[in-house]
């Protein structure tokens, strides 16, 4: 078994999913002139960890290693967007969580 090679998926229960799906696909197939395309995502509760010991370096036939021990520094939320036209990543890390 190779669980790291497993592919996952999720079926949507949104009744408007197919309509939204084709709206997005249509932008790829026939993009409007001078369109700004941003791909945005949020990853919340990212653990800010610091390893207690340095890992062993890469070597021929060896992968980089890291220790199991770490110090927690709380969590952060990462917001990111990719501006395809400019080839730039726009990001923000928020340390405070306000709901």
Q: pLDDT by residue (tens digit) across 23-36?
A: 988 888 888 887 76
Is 1 within a domain?
no
pLDDT score, position 3 = 64
Q: Is the pLDDT of residue 49 over 80?
A: no
- Work out the mean pLDDT of the chain and round it to a whole number: 78
- For residues 68 and 52, is the Cβ–Cβ distance under 8 A? no
Is 62 within a domain?
yes
Distance CA 98, CA 77 (A): 11
Is 39 within a domain?
yes
Domain total in the chain: 1
Is 27 within a domain?
no
Q: Is the pLDDT of residue 90 over 70?
A: yes
Q: What is the mean pLDDT of residues 59-83?
A: 79
Is 43 within a domain?
yes
- Prediction pTM value: 0.37
Q: Is the pLDDT of residue 99 over 60?
A: no
**Structural domain of 46:** 34-99
Cβ atoms within 10 A of the Cβ of 75, count? Answer: 13
Which tokens is 21 given? Answer: 């799906």
Is 17 within a domain?
no
């Amino acid at each position: 078994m190779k669980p790291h090679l497993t592919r996952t998926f999720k079926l949507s229960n949104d009744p408007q999913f197919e309509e939204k799906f084709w709206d997005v696909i249509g932008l790829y197939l026939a993009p409007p002139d001078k369109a700004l395309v941003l791909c945005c995502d949020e990853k919340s509760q990212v653990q800010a960890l610091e390893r207690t010991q340095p890992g062993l370096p890469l070597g021929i036939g060896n992968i980089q290693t890291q220790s199991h021990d770490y110090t927690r520094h709380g969590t952060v939320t990462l917001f990111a967007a990719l501006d395809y036209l400019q080839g730039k990543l726009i990001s923000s890390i928020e340390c405070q969580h306000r709901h």
